[in-house]
Amino acid sequence: MDLKNKRAAKWKHHHFWVSFCHACQGLKTAWKEERNLRFHSIMTILVLLAGLVFRVTVMEWLWLGLSITIVLVCELINTAIENIVDLIVGNQSNKLAKKAKDIASGAVLVASLFSLIVGLIIFLPYLWHVFFS
Ligand SMILES: Nc1ncnc2c1ncn2[C@@H]1O[C@H](COP(=O)(O)OP(=O)(O)OP(=O)(O)O)[C@@H](O)[C@H]1O
């Protein structure tokens, strides 16, 4: 094993709970550092409350759950990509860094638009019922 592989092996943990704690630490860091993630999390809580208030069906819960999960996962991957790009280029302006970050943000945008459409399809009929019937 060469020096590089030995160093990599130092960080390797094969215990499930150690990996689980690292994943939780990652969520905590992302929550602390990413304003957008906090915004999406607050939206998630509002959507879950709306689901409870309107007593949405099981199928609707599944679509809401899928939409929320896709947005949060994209936001976490976007954050990881931003950190990797910053690690590589630091404070320097770089065309490829911009491209990578913009594309990662694009993924969050696509997921958010999908969630918005799902939310409108599910909640508009309930709102219509409350206000117009
Ligand atoms: N090193 C860089 N070189 C050139 N442009 C950059 C660089 N870093 C960031 N940018 C540009 O600035 C934008 C914002 O980058 P930043 O790292 O602040 O992410 P952010 O504001 O957290 O983005 P997001 O809203 O997607 O989470 C990027 O999408 C990119 O267009």
Q: How much is the ipTM here?
A: 0.91
Q: Is the pLDDT assigned to residue 49 strictly greater than 80?
A: yes
Q: Is the CB of 36 under 6 A from ligand 1?
A: yes
Q: What is the pTM of this model?
A: 0.86
pLDDT at 89 over 70: yes
Q: For the chain, which domains are there?
A: 25-132 (1.10.287.3610)
pLDDT digits (tens, 9 = 90+) for 5-19: 655 566 676 788 899
Over residues 20-33, the mean pLDDT reads 95
11 Cα–ligand 1 center, Å = 29
83 lines ligand 1 (CB under 6 A): no
Task: Show which residues are catalytic.
Answer: 75
What mean pLDDT is reported for the chain?
Answer: 92
Backbone φ and ψ for 56, nearest 5 degrees, come out as -65, 160
Q: Report how far ligand 1's centroid is from the alpha carbon of 102 (Å).
A: 7
CA–CA separation, 75 and 21 (whole Å): 20
- The pLDDT-based confidence of 118 (bands split at 50, 70, 90) is very high
In the predicted model, is pLDDT for residue 1 greater than 80?
Answer: no
Spatial contact of 45 and 100, defined as CB atoms under 8 Å apart = no
Please report, in range form, the residues annotated as the binding site for a divalent metal cation. Answer: 34, 82
